[in-house]
Structure 1
Amino acid sequence: MAKHIYIYSPSGAVRDKAAFKRGVKRLEAMGHKVEIDPDALRSSTRFAGDDACRIEAIHRAAASGADVALISRGGYGLTRILDQLDYKAIAKSISQGTQFVGISDFTALQAALLAKTKSMTWAGPALCEGFGAQPEPDEIMEACFDEMLSGQGEGVGWRQPLGASVEPYFVENAMLWGGNLSVLCSLLGTPFFPKVKAGVLFLEDIHEHPYRIERLLAQLLHAGVLGQQKALLLGQFTGYSLGAHDRGFTMKSVVRWLQDRLHVPVLTQLPYGHVQTKVLLPVGAKVDLAVEGRDVLVAWGHVV
């Protein structure tokens, strides 16, 4: 099913032009009409254009009438401009059918839209790291993207690691929210941090050592955020190296520490993050969660 996909750059400058071109060609080969924002390949220091340029790009994406507004890449830049965006215009475009999709730094815009307008967006790929991947984009990611486009996506299921079995646990009609842990924590105490209670929070990150992950989780814990949720889903935490000083302190240590302090399930291995094989997740949608043994299912087909 051919769709109109608008590519824009709200964060970091695109350095890998080859990946950008591969991503566009891949989407076109899938039958989609790809429209590229006029400033998608702009550069100003580390950013995809100065702040005003990137603000305008976001607003053009909202005004494009496209089926999907897809970021070119993440990086950093959105938190600088959250106080200057026209949230009503973006929310209107979402209500009229434009699906905003992205990952990493995009968490800032997702959180702000949820806090300001309760609009639903999608945590998923970016153009370069997703559709521009070599040698080919991941099949599961592409299948999930197609399901999102067709409205046929109903949920995601996965298995936790051996030894992680828990008692049966069910949650109904809870808001799914979250994204990149570092970005989300940077919004605490601002008007752009969603005040979600009794939700299902998912988190991922890259290039953060386990002790730094624990420190960020402790921030959310001590701020009262984690204790207000019905479940915590930990995705993929990648791109770090352990050293001799760690002496066995790993991500498993972080998970055990967190599980000892929360009275709700802390579930791991959600197939989402800075990895090729990832699902798409509807941020701001109401979902049902079912856990039995090692098996986890998050379902949203009845509400999205």
Structure 2
Amino acid sequence: MHRRHFLGSAALAALMLPLARGGDALAASSSRLLPPPLNRGDTVALVSPSAATDDPFDLQLAREAMEALGFKVKLGPHLASRWGHLAGSDAERAGDLNAMFADREVKAIICARGGSGAARLLPLLDYGMIRRNPKVLLGYSDITALHNALLSQAGLVSFHGPIGAGSWNRFNVDQFQRVFFERELMQYRNVSDPGDELVQRKNRTITLSGGKARGELVGGNLSVLVALAGSRYLPDFSGRILFLEDVSEAPYRIDRMLSTLKLMGALDTIAGFIFGECTECDPGEGYGSLTLSQILDDYVKPLKIPAYRGAMIGHIRQQFILPVGGNMEMDADAGTIRMLEPVFQG
């Protein structure tokens, strides 16, 4: 989902308060919490923590998709609300999230869409209650704010992947079933399909620096992630594998956001780096724009850690479902990520 980002104050905060963390966040992140597994017939909740939906039919499609996957569906009371561009007031949207985490009947929370506004909810969430009632949360884009807050404040592993109103194509459904129903120790590898080309051109991974790395997975949408800089809701990146993606950002903005991560010291501590897709991020007209490849070379290659780009992560039709906080291994030469251990309670 497209969204606008307001990063000026966040970048300044990052420079003034590098890697600031609350004591509660440190305590939570040191104790990783896995959600209970899902089964067909369970009840899942549809909520909208970010932007309002402009077409109510999208919410109907989201509900039908969850039912087609085999779930009963409970709708957040403010799922279809609107307050400006948001799906209800901050209190209403946070209330829906807190209520669904507290509801013993609900086994998973599916975010209907992204957009913007999820970061406004972070101070309003009851992390102690969430830690006592862990469950699956699924979404991407603006939901990056929730993934990182849940990990840093409650230690909860959540899932970066399709939104409820997004495409539930064959690939995404297969990923969902393998991750949540079969509870497979997944290996994520881009689909190999050259089409009518002699060699595959699209959907390729490109090695930036070879090698393998192990660590917990952190990251998400770059713009949303950097907007958390200087707050207690951004997890410590030390020893972790960082994955990023974005949409509709000019290269100079990608450069500025990676510069923020570099200046705050976050890039210097990661074990590995994965860049997914940056959809509609091509240089604009005119002379002198850096390309995405040049920007990644500037910031990532000097780290001398395993790194690759082109993973099926981001604002694309077919996308991986990744456990944020899961213990993973990446292979930058092969362009793969794999789970090292289960991501659900035993």
Per the TM superposition, whether the score is higher than 0.5 is: yes
> Is the Cα contact below 8 Å between 1:155 and 1:301 reproduced in 2?
no
Report the CA distance shift for 1:267/1:21 in structure 2 as closer, same or farther (over 3 A).
same
Report the CA distance shift for 1:179/1:246 in structure 2 as closer, same or farther (over 3 A).
farther
SS at 1:105's partner residue? helix
The structure 1 residue matched to 2:124, chosen from 84, 87, 90, is 84
Counterpart of 1:231 in structure 2 is 272
Which structure shows the bigger proportion of residues in strand conformation? 1
User: Residue 241 of structure 1: CA displacement?
Assistant: 4.8
Larger deviation, residues 185-194 vs 83-92: 83-92
User: Residue 18 of structure 1: CA displacement?
Assistant: 1.7
> Is the Cα contact below 8 Å between 2:65 and 2:164 reproduced in 1?
no
The structure 1 residue matched to 2:65, chosen from 9, 26, 36, is 26
The structure 2 residue matched to 1:144, chosen from 175, 192, 198, is 175
The structure 2 residue matched to 1:258, chosen from 299, 314, 338, is 299
The structure 1 residue matched to 2:166, chosen from 120, 126, 129, is 129
> Is the Cα contact below 8 Å between 1:259 and 1:265 reproduced in 2?
no
Identical-pair percentage: 27
Counterpart of 1:154 in structure 2 is 186
Counterpart of 2:324 in structure 1 is 283
Instruction: Show structure 1 runs of 4+ deviating over 6 A.
Output: none
> Is the Cα contact below 8 Å between 1:287 and 1:303 reproduced in 2?
no
1:89 maps to amino acid: M
The answer to which structure, 1 or 2, has the higher relative contact order (CA under 8 A, 6+ apart) is 2
Q: Does 1:175 align with 2:206?
A: no
User: Residue 265 of structure 1: CA displacement?
Assistant: 2.6
> Is the Cα contact below 8 Å between 1:154 and 1:302 reproduced in 2?
no
Question: Aligned partners of 1:171 and 1:108: how far apart in 2?
Answer: 25
> Is the Cα contact below 8 Å between 2:175 and 2:321 reproduced in 1?
yes
Counterpart of 2:17 in structure 1 is none
* Root-mean-square deviation over aligned CA pairs: 2.0
Counterpart of 2:314 in structure 1 is 273
Counterpart of 2:7 in structure 1 is none
Instruction: Give the structure-1-normalised TM-score.
Output: 0.89
Deviation string for 1:121-150 (max 9, x for gaps)?
1001111123xxxxxx32111111112221
SS at 2:286's partner residue? helix
Question: Aligned partners of 2:208 and 2:119: how far apart in 1?
Answer: 38
The structure 2 residue matched to 1:15, chosen from 54, 61, 64, is 54
Counterpart of 2:142 in structure 1 is 105
Deviation string for 1:39-86 (max 9, x for gaps)?
110111111111111111111120233222001111111212211210
Instruction: Give the structure-2-normalised TM-score.
Output: 0.79
Report the CA distance shift for 1:117/1:29 in structure 2 as closer, same or farther (over 3 A).
closer
SS at 2:141's partner residue? coil
> Is the Cα contact below 8 Å between 2:252 and 2:289 reproduced in 1?
no
Counterpart of 2:32 in structure 1 is none
User: Residue 196 of structure 1: CA displacement?
Assistant: 2.6
Question: Aligned partners of 1:143 and 1:99: how far apart in 2?
Answer: 17
User: Residue 205 of structure 1: CA displacement?
Assistant: 0.8
Structure 1: segments with no counterpart, 5+ residues = 131-136
User: Residue 246 of structure 1: CA displacement?
Assistant: 4.5
Question: Aligned partners of 1:244 and 1:165: how far apart in 2?
Answer: 27
> Is the Cα contact below 8 Å between 1:271 and 1:277 reproduced in 2?
yes
1:37 maps to amino acid: G
> Is the Cα contact below 8 Å between 2:209 and 2:308 reproduced in 1?
no
> Is the Cα contact below 8 Å between 1:4 and 1:32 reproduced in 2?
yes
2:267 maps to amino acid: L
Equivalent pairs counted in the alignment come to 291
Q: Does 1:184 align with 2:215?
A: no
Question: Aligned partners of 2:282 and 2:308: how far apart in 1?
Answer: 23
SS at 1:202's partner residue? strand
Structure 2: segments with no counterpart, 5+ residues = 1-39, 193-202
Q: Does 1:72 align with 2:122?
A: no
Deviation string for 1:84-129 (max 9, x for gaps)?
21011122221xxx20111111111111111112111100111112
Report the CA distance shift for 1:246/1:113 in structure 2 as closer, same or farther (over 3 A).
farther
> Is the Cα contact below 8 Å between 1:202 and 1:234 reproduced in 2?
yes
SS at 2:166's partner residue? helix
Counterpart of 1:134 in structure 2 is none
Question: Aligned partners of 1:162 and 1:289: how far apart in 2?
Answer: 13
